[in-house]
Amino acid sequence: MLQIGVDGGRARCEGRVMNSGNVITVGVLTPHALPGPEVELPDMASGRVRVEVSRTASDAGPTSPDGLRAQARPAVLDKAAALLPAADVLAFASTGSAYALGYAEESALVERLRERWDVPVSATCLAAVAALRARDIKRISLVHPPWFGASLNELGAEYFGSQGFEVVDARLADLPDDPNKVEPAMVVEWVARHLSDRAEAVFIGGNGLRAARAVRALERRTGRVVLQANQILLWSVLHNMPADIKLNGKEEK
**Residues 75-116: tens digit of each pLDDT:** 999 999 999 988 999 999 999 999 999 999 999 999 999 999
Evaluate whether residue 128 is within a structural domain.
Answer: yes
| E-assigned strand segments in 42-146 | 49-55, 89-92, 121-123, 139-144
- 113's enclosing H/E stretch is helix 103-117
Going 68 to 70 to 72 to 77, the CA torsion angle's sign is: negative
Residue 28 inside a domain? The answer is yes
* Residue 164 maps to a domain: yes
What average pLDDT does the structure give for the chain? Answer: 86
pLDDT at position 61 = 46
Task: Return the higher-pLDDT residue of 114 and 48.
Answer: 114
pLDDT of residue 63: 72
Q: Is residue 14 part of a domain?
A: no
Rounded CA-CA distance 121/165 in Å is 24
How many domains does one find in the chain? 1
Q: What is the pLDDT of residue 21?
A: 53
> pLDDT value at position 247?
45
* Residue 24 burial (10 A CB sphere; 0-12, 13-18, 19+): buried
- Sheet with 201-204, strands from edge to edge, namely 166-172, 139-144, 201-204, 225-228
Tell whether 3 is covered by a domain.
no
What pLDDT is recorded for position 20? 42
Please indicate, yes or no, if residue 18 is contained in any of the structural domains. Answer: no
CATH number at residue 126: 3.40.50.12500
pLDDT of residue 242: 66
* Domain assignment of residue 173, given as a range: 24-239
Residue 184 lies in a domain: yes
Task: Note the pTM of the prediction, 2 decimals.
Answer: 0.86
In a domain, 1, yes or no: no
